Structure 1
Amino acid sequence: MKNKFLSIMFILSLALMTACSNSDTEKAEAPEGANEPETTKVDRTDLILATTTSTQDSGLLDELIPMFEEENPYKVKTIAVGTGQALEMGVKGEADTLLTHAPASEKELVDNEDVLNYQQVMYNDFVVVGPTADPAGVKGLSTTEAFAKIFESQSVFVSRGDDSGTHKKELQLWEEASLTPSENEAYLETGQGMGNSLQVAAEKQGYILTDRATYLAQKDTLGEFEVLVEGDDNLLNIYHVMEVNPEKSDMINVEGAKAFVEFMIDEDTQSTIAEFGVEEYGEPLFFLFE
């Protein structure tokens, strides 16, 4: 009886040892992380966007680019420069897509087939801003009258001087007034973007042409500085988006550029643009075409 009991205990011990051994083997053979949830990794390719500083300084791109990247497998690398420089990058095939605001210059690229899929996105307006004291007395005048008074009084006028869309518009306005701005000794060129140029104008207590969006975004940092001239038909500021022709370079991200253009004119994106600035500034910074 004793021997039978010992036999039974020996068999049970062997069974227990075998079970433990199998359990350890299964654990060892199980792939690491087998019970962890799978995560999807998105391979992103770079998309180079050449654009004007106003879309950057206004904060609009900070709103739109995360939306685009969430919906598409691309990482946007933004190069914010003057529109002239952005367009030149397109001509040289150094960018994939462009977002600019100089229609006359853009049309040259369209006609030369440097760019494709040319689309209107939004608009706002240019305004002349200056010190609240308004030493040249231009408040409420037409653009041509205001430029003439600034010139005649030899008041400080700050120009971007960077071949940007805003600079191109400013030179057009001087031409319409039949004036040569450099003949004013107080005419100052910064060679910088819109945000920095506004700061210089405020410091110098001078006048400057700016897009309304960047002015509103920086208004609180400018002190006694306000919009003095606005509303003229020639102050309309139109933005377009376009793809760079892939024939310009074999490095062009064709699919990414197309996706970005389509994103910018998509209904949801357009709604976001129309609402941008309302909560913070009490008015939109950009408007949509009907």
Structure 2
Amino acid sequence: MTGRTLATLAAVLMTVAAQAEEMKLAVTTSFENSGLSDVLLPAIREDTGIDVQLLVVGTGQALRLGEAGDVDAILVHSRAAEEAFVEGGYGTHRREIMYNDFVFIGPVADPAAVGGAASAAEALKKIGAEEPAFVSRGDDSGTHKKELSLWKAAGFDAGTFGGWYRQVGAGMGASLNTASGLNAYILADRASWLNFGNKGELALLYSGDPVLFNQYAFLPVNPELHGHVRHDLALRLEDWLTGERARDLINSYAINGETLFIFNATTD
């Protein structure tokens, strides 16, 4: 066997090995829009050799991809839906990784006086009474699920709203762009808002209610249900995401001096 043949064979074997270390992770648009993935993915590859391929969708779609076995794991933020996913046998377990919070964004002029609200429920009561333009994700994402639950807690049924309530059926970045264009109110996660570059006349008007807590969790897809999934890589990724380097990168990721996520994974 010639030296050139050996070199070619080695290159092929290296390519196969690299392909064998690829895994698919469904993540929310809010996670990707935050910019954190650009920080974490190169470090994951460097430390573990895993090439994580992201499928960026809303939480509802991420869960459906997991149920179908189209991804190896998911990273989402809707606890009730996540627990149902595990209880249904689609995921092996749920592991909390990090959190931030939801915030109310709206026009600087704040015609609904949301900035003076004492709670998230009061903020929505003010919006519901005034009926200014409001943009909803409308996409079964974790943010959309949270928004609907907040409306319900405030005594409203979003399904009865008129034309002032705009459901766009899009991700966080696209929804924020729509809100900016309409000078409308919107519920967003803090990380996406801070990383959003087209703020226009919008501002962060209300935050701080404990009900706006926004936990992100990692769920490996069940290999007993889908034998082809890379459960081994999902567990290696989980170990990394709950380790010291992930903690340091997550906690240090900031925009204009403001931290976007707080690491809160615990060791088993």
Q: Give the alignment's TM-score, normalised by structure 2.
A: 0.90
Query: Within 1, Cα distance between the matches of 2:151 and 2:29?
Result: 22
Decide which moves more: 174-183 or 48-57: 174-183
Aligned length in residues: 256
Q: CA deviation at 1:248?
A: 2.4
Residue equivalent to 2:257: 282
| Equivalent residues of 1:157, 1:186 under 8 A apart | yes
Q: Deviations over 1:184-236 (max 9, x none)?
A: 32000110000110010011011000000000001x42122111110001000
Aligned AA for 1:173? L
User: After TM superposition, what 4+ stretches of structure 1 lie above 3 angstroms from structure 2?
Assistant: 29-34, 38-42
Q: Deviations over 1:33-64 (max 9, x none)?
A: 99xxx999462222010110011000111111
The correspondence for 1:189, drawn from 155, 167, 170, is: 167
Change (3 A) 1:31 1:169: closer
The 5 A counterparts of 1:198-209 are 198-209=176-187
Residue equivalent to 1:19: none
The correspondence for 2:226, drawn from 217, 239, 249, is: 249
The correspondence for 1:120, drawn from 96, 101, 108, is: 96
The correspondence for 1:216, drawn from 187, 194, 208, is: 194
Residue equivalent to 1:102: 78
Decide which moves more: 43-52 or 188-197: 43-52
Aligned-residue CA RMSD (Å)? 2.1
Give structure 2 stretches of 5+ with no counterpart. none
Change (3 A) 1:81 1:259: same
The 5 A counterparts of 1:65-144 are 65-141=41-117, 142-144=119-121
Aligned-pair identity in percent equals 39
Q: CA deviation at 1:169?
A: 0.3
1:270 correspondence with 2:238: no
Query: Within 1, Cα distance between the matches of 2:199 and 2:41?
Result: 27
Give structure 1 stretches of 5+ with no counterpart. 1-28
Query: Within 2, Cα distance between the matches of 1:107 and 1:191?
Result: 24
Q: CA deviation at 1:32?
A: 5.5
